[in-house]
Amino acid sequence: MTESIENKIFEKIKKAKRGALFFADNFVAFGNIDTIYRTLNRLVEKGELDKVTNGIYYRPQIDKIIGKITPKIEDVASAIARRDKAKIVPTGDYALNRLGLSTQVPMKIVYLTDGSARNIKVGNYTISFIRTSPKNVAAIGKISRLAIQALKSIGRENVKQHEIEQIQNALMKEKVSYLEHDLRVAPAWIKEIIRHSLEKLKQTEQN
């Protein structure tokens, strides 16, 4: 019975591309959860999977030069959000880093979420999901939502002109429709920063 479950799980894993993330819950149709965990851990021992953290596994990508490639923090966070049907937004020092406003990668990666609050250890990093109101995760643009959170982290009184210009330049890579949406959900002082990029982007598209 256990061997049959292992075969079923392994077949499902093999159909996924390298770099795919799996949750133990993905395999509950094949047996009880304790058996699933034992099977997944055997596949880790065989090198077919890597364990990211408790309950989350990874089919490793292999680079010819550097060997195994570990999953990106944002990929792990996004996978958890998809599973939980939750929205997440990077915030704090991580948002600043993603926008190039800081060279430091924080050891604690903070996401706002409308889902469950939790802390997850991934290697040397901790992913912290902080529950917030839906309006704080309403932005949809990958760049514009980072910009909103980065500016909130810096604060209206502390933000410098060169930081505003750097953010506005980054916003030029966002989709117009996303900027239009996120302009409506941003705080008033941040709206003006986004509006500058939106108007400039529209002019560029018209020329």
Least confident of 42-46, 68-72, 142-146: 68-72
104 pLDDT exceeds 70? yes
3-state secondary structure the chain: CHHHHHHHHHHHHHHCCCCCEEEHHHHHHHCCHHHHHHHHHHHHHCCCCEEEECCEEECCEEECCCEEECCCHHHHHHHHHHHHCCCEEECHHHHHHHCCCCCCCCCEEEEEECCCCEEEEECCEEEEEEECCHHHHCCCCHHHHHHHHHHHHHCCCCCCHHHHHHHHHHHCCCCHHHHHHHHHHCCHHHHHHHHHHHHHHHHHHHC
**63 and 78 inside one domain:** no
Domain that holds residue 8: 2-67
**82 and 169 inside one domain:** yes
pTM listed for this prediction: 0.86
Q: How confident is the model at residue 1 (pLDDT cuts 50, 70, 90)?
A: very low
**116 and 18 inside one domain:** no
Read off the pLDDT of residues 114-143 as tens digits, 9 standing for 90 and up. 999 999 999 899 999 999 999 999 999 999
**94 and 176 inside one domain:** yes
Quote the CA–CA distance of 6 and 14 in Å, as a whole number: 12
Which of 45, 67, 89 delimits the end of a domain?
67
Quote the CA–CA distance of 111 and 131 in Å, as a whole number: 9
CATH number assigned to the domain comprising residue 58 = 1.10.10.10
Q: How far apart are the first and last CA of the chain?
A: 66
Which of 48, 67, 86 delimits the end of a domain?
67
**7 and 91 inside one domain:** no
**62 and 127 inside one domain:** no
**45 and 84 inside one domain:** no
Could you give phi then psi for residue 185, rounded to 5 degrees? -100, -5
**59 and 84 inside one domain:** no
For the chain, how many structural domains are there in total? 2
**39 and 113 inside one domain:** no
Which of 67, 86, 113 delimits the end of a domain?
67
Read off the pLDDT of residues 3-48 as tens digits, 9 standing for 90 and up. 588 889 989 998 888 889 999 999 999 988 999 999 999 999 998 8
**55 and 145 inside one domain:** no
**54 and 96 inside one domain:** no
Average pLDDT value over all residues in the chain: 92
**81 and 22 inside one domain:** no
